[in-house]
């Protein structure tokens, strides 16, 4: 396959999106999140190390890979909740390893006004 075809000719391949969690040091649980056949650019079939090391036009290829991974995630309805950690091909199947995004915990003291109010309350409690 020519390099140009890797960027615009899609192939129908089985795709497995999975999440791996480690409950203990020697065990890991694998949870399949999406399993199906999708049209994917063959640029994802290459090894990641080869892509980012040996190709002179890395910016164009990197943007094509990232947009294709975003497209796979949106086809699996995993846009905002998960992020891609790794991807690889095995026996003509595409495997995408994802992790759940850490939700931002909002503290009650986000604004300076709330911090000052909390500081004044503690000061008044100490004086009383």
Residue 21, token pair as written in the block: 């969690």
Euclidean distance between CA atoms 43 and 65, whole angstroms: 7
Predicted model pTM = 0.64
| Sheet strands (E) in the chain | 11-21, 29-40, 82-90, 93-100
Confidence of residue 14 (pLDDT cuts 50, 70, 90): very high
Q: Give tens-digit pLDDT for 18-72.
A: 988 777 778 778 889 889 998 888 777 766 555 555 555 566 677 778 888 888 8
- Dihedral sign (CA 110, 111, 116, 117): negative
Instruction: Tell me the C-alpha distance between 112 and 40, whole Å.
Output: 48
pLDDT recorded at residue 35: 92
């Amino acid at each position: 396959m020519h390099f140009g075809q890797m960027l615009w000719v899609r192939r129908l391949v089985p795709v497995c999106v999975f999440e791996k969690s480690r409950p203990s040091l020697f065990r890991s649980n694998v949870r399949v999140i999406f399993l199906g056949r999708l049209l994917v650019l063959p640029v994802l079939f290459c090894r990641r190390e080869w892509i980012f090391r040996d190709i002179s036009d890395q910016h164009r290829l990197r943007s094509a890979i990232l947009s294709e991974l975003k497209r796979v995630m949106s086809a699996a309805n995993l846009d905002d909740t998960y992020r891609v950690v790794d991807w690889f091909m095995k026996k003509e199947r595409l495997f995408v390893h994802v992790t759940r995004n850490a939700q931002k915990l909002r503290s009650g003291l986000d604004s300076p006004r709330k911090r000052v109010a909390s500081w004044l309350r503690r000061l008044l409690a100490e004086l009383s």
